Amino acid sequence: MRGIEGARGRWTGRVLRGLGVVGALMLLVLSLVKGDWPSEPSYGNGWPVPLSVKASILRSLLALVAGLALAWMPSLAPWRERAGRWLFHSPRRRIQWVLGTAAFLLYAGVAWFRFKGLPFLDDDAAALFQARIFAAGRLTLPVPKYGQFFSLFGLLGRAHEHPFVCTMYPPGLSLLLLPGVLAGVPWLMIPVTGGLLVAATITLGAELAGERVGRLAGLFMLGSPFIGILSGTHLSHIPTAGLLVVCWLAVVRLLRTGRIRHGVMAGAAWGAACLFRPLTALVVGVVVALGVLVQWRRALAAWRGVLAALLLAVAGGALLA
């Protein structure tokens, strides 16, 4: 009977692994698809990276072949060993500095050489315009005399029957761009947050699944084209992601240690994320809250920190009211 049960267990395990592989492949295929495919071809809608299915598959296969070659070639074995020792045995802080700095330089290159340091969409153009309004010491501007000729999606004005000119988006992104506007380099602000996102991801991965996973997560994020392109824009995706990673990290540490400062950090980070992308912050906040509820005993033990997090989160959300 034990032999039969063992065989059944092995068969079940193989089936589950097979289903997992099939599911992963399906997700990979879906991640390469954009738009109305397969009913219509995808042309990328003007994005700087080709998003057609054919181009995505070819690039993915090329990356896979190159990765297998680097992993298999015997002549590269000493270099692989050195890279592995450096990545997995160096102090975490050093890895964060190196990968975070590399990410910043890479993203700054994308911002300058691909986007010329300029906004790419009307969304980030509106945020940059609002940052310049802040830099002038104002919250809004009066509608110009011929306001009907002054119109940009994302800015409120005469075209919207609005009494003054300002962005229609939350102020977080414009406030982030403000130091860059004052220094004359607003295009560097998102690359900076991109580097910080990589560093924070390393720490979060280490807290959740160990040092090896955290460092690999940071390395994979550094090589992500999606993160790289967004980090070269003036858009709010990357700073929002960074704040939510910090929030999640603080919650993990709060439940482990019970220290109030982690609750303060969690609430402040989530409240700040609300000032960038409120709906994104809400969705991720619900997921994090469910994780806290699952560990309700630890949450009760750290109730002061949880209360501080809730109060600061509510305060951050109330700023949008």
Length of the chain in terms of residues written:
321
Which of 10-14, 125-129, 134-138, 202-206 shows the lowest mean pLDDT across its residues? 10-14
pLDDT in tens, 246-295: 999 999 999 999 999 999 999 999 999 999 999 999 999 999 999 899 88
Which is more confidently placed, 158 or 58? 58
Residue (of 96, 282, 274, 92) closest to 197 by Cα position: 96
> Looking at residue 243, what is its pLDDT?
97
How many whole angstroms separate alpha carbon 110 and alpha carbon 116?
A: 9
Which residues contact residue 145 at a Cβ distance below 8 angstroms, ignoring those fewer than 6 apart?
A: none
228 pLDDT above the threshold of 50: yes
CA distance 283 to 275: 14
Residue 46's pLDDT band, with cuts at 50, 70 and 90, is very low
Q: How confident is the model at residue 155 (pLDDT cuts 50, 70, 90)?
A: confident
Q: Which of 129-133, 140-144, 146-150 has the highest mean pLDDT?
A: 129-133
**pLDDT above 80 for 195:** yes
- For helices 211-222 and 189-209, angle between their N-to-C axes, nearest 10 degrees: 150
Q: How confident is the model at residue 50 (pLDDT cuts 50, 70, 90)?
A: very low
H or E stretch at 96: helix 92-109
Q: For 297-309, how does the pLDDT look when each residue is reduced to its tens digit (9 = 90+)? A: 999 999 999 999 9
